[in-house]
Amino acid sequence: MNTRSAIRLADDLDVLSREEIERLRHRNAARMLDAARATPAVLRRWPQLADVRDLEGLTALPPLTSAELAAGRPPHSAEFLLGGDGPGMAIRSSGTSRTPKMMYHSWEFNAQISALGARGVRAGARRPPRRVANCLFAAELNGAFLFAQEVIRLCAARTFPLGSTMGVGHTAEVIAEHAVDTLIAAPGFGVDVLTGAAPERLTALRTFLYIGEGLGAEREKAVTAALPGLEIRSLAYSTTETGCIGYQCAYQTGTAHHVHEDAVVVEVVDEETGAPLPAGEAGEVLVTPLSDTGMALFRYRIGDRGRLSDRPCACGSRARVLTLLGRAAQSLTVDSETFSTDHLMGRLAEVGVTDPAACQLQVRWEGNRYRVRLLLSPSAPSAATPEAVAAALAGGLEIHAVVTGPRCAGFTVERVDPARFARTARGKVPTLYEHPATA
Ligand SMILES: [Zn+2]
């Protein structure tokens, strides 16, 4: 690690005792608190920090919302910048607020994220990657592609930086010609390649590492049917705002990850009251990345629901296990793009639709494609024609990407009585609704 950061990471978290993990996370939390208190703008943002003595004291701080982070984003504000403005990488998060969130990661924090990513790949790999196709999206202030590049370098493998715009055929050609053994991609593009290319071109592939969203049982089944024996794993549980949060050991599948406990503090709290929940109970996930450079985020609401377990994992690691249970209320992730009710309503206001109960955006996955239906109550303004709605949505980065994306099989705007809107198992009528998978 660079000398500007005093954060120290374990080379291998899984060999540490619980006491050693605790010592390391308390140590790194103290470094972060020192850095935050030494920055006047950050201390003004969180005056309560003056009284926070240690890691446990963090729970005295209010959770940080996505909208608050967007409002205080650089370059418009310095309230989150540890040590003020400095060198590093500017990336933009797929948003749940109306304003996109700009993140200024210091190079030190960036190196920390890459080290965690590589540590996570090593922890779970049955076969270490040797030749890796990096098929993540590589532009528009997206951080994932460069993250994967660094992880591949730190794993001492060769990278084929293909990106995600070359098309399935051309990508498979490179995989075949160079006997690529590992594919890194977002689930959407990855599944397109794995199920769409001629299987004889993919015979060298051993591992699929996905990132950006969950893969889901249906898509996993499709990949396994096309390429039996392919190892399918999460590259990392990571967000643009917080960096790496979790990694999968060889015993974990689906949405279960060990937490990088020396580098992030994960809490699960009651979604309504914000009260901390004991291990085993499901609630909203809050994340505090432990960094003394870059941006200060305390108890950030990443928008996921989950459950923490402190029962020892079969792999022997004492690092806690976080199982993700979908998005928190009022936001949706579709093909790696995240948006919220707030975000949707901001766009629909342009056509006079202002009541969230008078509309419902439905997403239905069919294999690796999805359809989007926007239902509007018959009482919605007549100006809200399909054409006008489409034009309004075009101004919203993530929603526009969802309704025009390569895996969107159709987008319709329909007049439907709200009594016929879809309901959740608990009987709620959400503004954003994803049809459950028909497995
Ligand atoms: Zn494990």
Domain holding 428: CATH number? 3.30.300
Q: Is 309 left (phi over 0), alpha (psi -120 to 50) or beta?
A: beta
- Does 3 fall in a domain? no
Q: Six-digit token pair at 222?
A: 């499709």
CATH number where 51 lies: 3.40.50.12780
Residues 339 and 266 occupy one common structural domain: no
- Does 83 fall in a domain? yes
- Does 264 fall in a domain? yes
- Over residues 234-253, mean pLDDT: 96
- Does 147 fall in a domain? yes
Please say which residue of 328, 350, 368 terminates a domain: 328
pLDDT of residue 94 exceeding 70, the answer is: no
- Does 4 fall in a domain? no
CA 249 to chain centre: 19
Query: Which pLDDT score, from 0 to 100, does residue 326 have?
Result: 76
Q: How far is the CA of 312 from the centre of ligand 1 (A)?
A: 8
Q: How far is the CA of 411 from the centre of ligand 1 (A)?
A: 41
Output the CA torsion sign for 21, 22, 23, 24. Answer: positive
Query: Which pLDDT score, from 0 to 100, does residue 395 have?
Result: 86
Residues 309 and 426 occupy one common structural domain: no
Query: Which pLDDT score, from 0 to 100, does residue 233 have?
Result: 95
- Does 205 fall in a domain? yes
Residues 152 and 48 occupy one common structural domain: yes
Query: Which pLDDT score, from 0 to 100, does residue 3 have?
Result: 62
DSSP one-letter string for 175-214: HHHTT--EEEE-HHHHHHHHHHS-GGGGTT--EEEE-SS-
Q: How far is the CA of 317 from the centre of ligand 1 (A)?
A: 6
Q: How far is the CA of 247 from the centre of ligand 1 (A)?
A: 9
Residues 26 and 171 occupy one common structural domain: yes
Q: How far is the CA of 430 from the centre of ligand 1 (A)?
A: 35
Q: Read off the pLDDT of residues 330-363 as tens digits, 9 standing for 90 and up.
A: 788 898 888 888 889 889 999 999 888 889 999 9
> Could you tell me the residue range of the domain that residue 421 belongs to?
331-434
Please say which residue of 328, 351, 380 terminates a domain: 328
Residues 316 and 365 occupy one common structural domain: no
Q: Is 245 helix (H, G, I), strand (E, B) or coil?
A: strand
Query: Which pLDDT score, from 0 to 100, does residue 1 have?
Result: 45
Residues 414 and 268 occupy one common structural domain: no
Q: Which of 3, 31, 56, 10 is nearest to 296 (CA)?
A: 31
- Over residues 244-255, mean pLDDT: 95
Residues 216 and 347 occupy one common structural domain: no
Residues 275 and 384 occupy one common structural domain: no
Amino acid letter at 89? M
Query: Which pLDDT score, from 0 to 100, does residue 307 have?
Result: 96
- Over residues 96-117, mean pLDDT: 89
- Does 291 fall in a domain? yes
Residues 47 and 82 occupy one common structural domain: yes
Q: How far is the CA of 328 from the centre of ligand 1 (A)?
A: 25
Q: Is 286 helix (H, G, I), strand (E, B) or coil?
A: strand
pLDDT of residue 280 exceeding 90, the answer is: yes
Question: Whole-number mean pLDDT of the chain?
Answer: 92
Q: How far is the CA of 256 from the centre of ligand 1 (A)?
A: 9
Residues 339 and 279 occupy one common structural domain: no
pLDDT of residue 98 exceeding 60, the answer is: no
Residues 320 and 388 occupy one common structural domain: no
Output the CA torsion sign for 50, 56, 60, 62. Answer: positive
Query: Which pLDDT score, from 0 to 100, does residue 16 have?
Result: 97
Residues 24 and 165 occupy one common structural domain: yes
CA dihedral 189, 191, 195, 199 (to 10 degrees): 80
Q: Six-digit token pair at 122?
A: 């090593």
Q: How far is the CA of 108 from the centre of ligand 1 (A)?
A: 28
Token pair 């924090």 in the structure block, residue = 109
Count the domains in the chain: 2
Q: Read off the pLDDT of residues 389-435 as tens digits, 9 standing for 90 and up.
A: 999 999 888 899 999 999 999 999 999 988 788 887 656 678 899 88
